[in-house]
Structures are given as C-alpha cells and as structure tokens.
Structure 1
Amino acid sequence: MDTKSLLIETATILFQEKGYKTVGLNEILKASNVSKGALYHHFPDGKEELLITCLHALKEDITTDIEAIFSKHLTTKDAIISTIDTLINSFEKRGTITGYTFSSIVSEMATMSEPVRKACSELYENIERIYCAKLLSDGFSDETAVSVSLLLTASIEGAMMLCLTKQSTNPLKTIAEQLPNLLEKL
C-alpha cells in the first residue's frame, strides 16, 4: 500500500473510533509508521485536509457497498434488510461499525468547517440517492421516495450510533423489524 493510502486508511479508522478532535497527527503518524514530512507532502494543509480526504474515501466505499447490496435485491424492503444485516454482522464480528458510520465526525466537525460539512453532506446525499432510486423502482412517487429515503438514512445512521453507545445490536435489529413494516404501509 502506498503512503498516501496508508495515511487515509489509518486516519479514517482512528477518526471513526476516537473522533477527529481526540486524534492527533502524532497518533496517526505512529499508527501508520509514516514521517511527518510524508504526511505534509500528501496533505499540505494538514489534519483537516486529511479528514476531508478520508470522508471522500468513505463516501466511495460506503456508496459501493450499498449499491452492491441494492443491486442484488428486487425491492427496497429486501435491500434495506440486507443492508442492516450487513451492519449487524459487522458489529457482532468486530464490536464496532467502523467503515460504515461517520456520524461522530459529523457531530464534531460539521458546524466548525464548511469543507467537512460539505463532504459529510455529499456522503449522506449519495446514500439517500441510492435509497430513492430503489423506492422509485418500487413504484413510490418522487415526493414519497425522497422523504422516505431521508427517513431510512436517518433511521439507519441513528441506529448505528445507538449500537455504538449501547454496545448492542438491538437498535439495528429493531429498525430491521420496523422499517419493512413501514415501507409496506406507504
């Protein structure tokens, strides 16, 4: 793995696990075994530029994962259940959902930095776009598909945060039971 990719991967994991403000550059450098000069070579503007790059990489990874899941299922209901099952399995195997959630970064930084807020917004918009497209293919109206895609995004992201704080998969299991029922009623 090249130095830049290593820095991005290492920083992404640390930011997700500990939060942006708590992770210092020295911790990232030590964990990735990279020099300060190499970091500034790739990220001349420092830690915030590295964070934004991490968020862009997360956007690509999460979008790819969700699109792959959604392409395997005919209905939004089945795709959502599969998505949530993937998150539950990840949490049960690793005790975290690192790689799928970035809410801690959003809550810390979105009001402090416009570029970070924008990068986070783009990620959420991608997720909503995938959900919306599937809802439209299920026959939902444009207006309903847009609002339900927001509801799905907020529910799943919120459940992931609750799983992390409660150290339990119960929040994801609960929405896995409830969201399909909601979709059927619409």
Structure 2
Amino acid sequence: MDTKSQIISTATALFQQKGYKGVGLSEILKACGITKGSLYHHFPNGKEELLIACLQLLNEAITTDIEDIFERHSTAEEATEAMIEKLIADFEREGTVTGYTFSSMVSEMASLSEPVRQACSFLYIKIQGIYADKLAADGFSKEKADSIALMMTASIEGGIMLCLTQKASDPLKVISGVLSNLLKEH
C-alpha cells in the first residue's frame, strides 16, 4: 500500500472510532509512522482534505458492497434483508459496524465545511440511488421508489447508530422486518 493510501485507510479507521475532532494530526502521524511533511505532501490543505479523501474511500467501499448485494438478489426486499443481515452479523461479530457508518463525521463536520457536507451528501445520494433503482425494477413508480429509498437510507443509518449506542443488534432486526413488510405491500 502506498503512503497516501495508508494515510487515508488509517485516518478513516481513526475518524470512525473517535470522530473527526477526537483525532489529532499527531495521532494520525504516529499511527501511520510518517512525518507531518509527508502528510502535507499528500494533503496540502490538511486534515479537512484528508477527511474528504476518507469519505471518498468510504463512498467507494460502501456503495460497491451495496451494489454487489443488490445485484445478487432479484428483488429489493431480498437485497435489503441480505444487506441488513450482513450488518447484523458484522455487528454481532465485531461489536461495531464501522464500514457502513460515517454519521459521526457528518454530524461533526457537515455544518462546518461545505466540501465535507457535499462529500457526505454525495454518498447518501449514491446509496439512495442504488435502493431506488432496485425498487423501480421491482415496479415501484419513480416517485415512490425515491421516497422509500430515502426512508431506507435514514432507517438503516439510524439503526446502525442505535445498535452502537445500545450495544445490541435489535434495532437493525426491527428495521429489517419493517422494511420487509413495507416492500411486500407493493
């Protein structure tokens, strides 16, 4: 892994664990085993530019995973259940769902930085688009598919946060059942 990729990967993990404000540059430098000059060589605008690169990495990883799950299943209901089952299994195995949530970064930085807000918005829009496309393929109207996709995104992201705060997978299990029933009603 090249230095820039190492910095992004390490910072992403730290930001997800501790939040943007909870991680100092010195902690990132120490974890990567690099100098400040090396970090600024790759990210001349500093920590915020690094955060945006981290969000782009998360965007690629999350959306690739969701697209893969949604392509393997014939209906949005089956794909949604499979995706949430994966999140539950990850949570129950690891005690967290770091790969799928970036809410802490959004809540800390989106109101303070327009570039960060845009990067977060792009990720949510991309996730919603994957859901909406599958729902439309299932026969939902574009308007209904877009509405349900928004609700799915909010529910799953909120469910992940509830799992983390409650230290239990029950919120995602409930959301999976509710979404399944909603998608069956079509």
Where on the TM-score scale, by shorter chain, does this alignment land: which range? over 0.9
Q: Equivalents in 1 of 2:145, 2:178: separation in Å?
A: 18
1:33, CA displacement in angstroms? 1.2
1:63 aligns to what? 63
Deviations 1:4-36 (A, max 9, x none): 001000000110111001100011111111211
Matched-pair identity in %:
62
Q: Equivalents in 1 of 2:55, 2:176: separation in Å?
A: 26
2:107 aligns to what? 107
Deviations 1:74-98 (A, max 9, x none): 0000000011011111111111111
Q: Equivalents in 1 of 2:184, 2:91: separation in Å?
A: 27
1:178, CA displacement in angstroms? 1.2
Alignment of 1:1-186 (within 5 A): 1-186=1-186
Q: Equivalents in 1 of 2:75, 2:68: separation in Å?
A: 14
Q: Equivalents in 2 of 1:34, 1:169: separation in Å?
A: 37
Could you tell me the TM-score, scaled by structure 2's length?
0.98
Instruction: Count residues in correspondence.
Output: 186
Q: Which amino acid aligns with 2:157?
A: E
**Structure 1, unaligned runs of 5 or more:** none
Q: Equivalents in 2 of 1:35, 1:98: separation in Å?
A: 27
Q: Which amino acid aligns with 1:54?
A: C
Runs of 4+, deviation exceeding 3 Å:
none
Q: Which amino acid aligns with 2:59?
A: K
1:150, CA displacement in angstroms? 0.2
Q: Which amino acid aligns with 1:76?
A: A
Q: Which amino acid aligns with 2:113?
A: S
**Structure 2, unaligned runs of 5 or more:** none
Instruction: Please tell me the root mean square deviation across aligned C-alpha atoms, in Å.
Output: 0.7
Q: Equivalents in 2 of 1:92, 1:32: separation in Å?
A: 29
SS at match of 2:111: coil
Q: Which amino acid aligns with 1:4?
A: K
Q: Equivalents in 2 of 1:168, 1:39: separation in Å?
A: 37
Could you tell me the TM-score, scaled by structure 1's length?
0.98
Q: Which amino acid aligns with 2:105?
A: I
SS at match of 2:34: coil
